[in-house]
Amino acid sequence: MNIAAVVKDLSISQNSFYMIKEFNKLIDNTDISVGAFFQRSAIPPIDTLFGCKMASFINGYEGVLIATSLELAEMCLRSTNKTKQYLYVWDMDWLENAVYFESAMKIMRSKDIEILARSKSHAVCIENFCNRSPVGIVDNWDIETILEIVK
């Protein structure tokens, strides 16, 4: 099984730290390959023990993709690969930045992408925003929870 996160960058942030920490736990598991695709190059907060590539390589990827923003989810939805896609709502983009509602709804309501929430309170906000319930709640990139959901 292949699982990859799609992030803006791997710079010092809570999101990057937890994602790298949890993905590093799978380094000895030969049945699961983890990786990350990023838009901008940055120095990660801790060492990555898995492959990291520019987002331009997504079209050649097969497996599970977990996007971390509306913009990245849209990029994944436009890709021409064989993937199972998720949007992990770590930060609620629509509360932090101006987003075009119609575009956001097209992504959030797409049947080609499942939504993961960071917490129960995030799940409530997501449901109120797009009238769609997340398929799971994943606290701080908990890899065991992710594996249960994507299998």
Strand partners, 117: 89, 137
From the CB of residue 59, how many other CB atoms can be counted at a distance below 10 Å? 11
Average pLDDT of every residue of the chain = 93
- Please determine, for residue 98, whether its predicted confidence score (pLDDT) is greater than 80: no
| Alpha-carbon gap, residue 5 to 34, rounded angstroms | 8
Q: Strand pairing partners for 85?
A: 65, 113
Alpha-carbon gap, residue 1 to 118, rounded angstroms: 23
Quick: pLDDT tens for 99-129.
Answer: 888 999 999 999 999 999 999 999 999 999 9
Q: What percent of the chain has pLDDT over 70?
A: 100
Quick check: 26 and 57 in contact, CB under 8 A? no
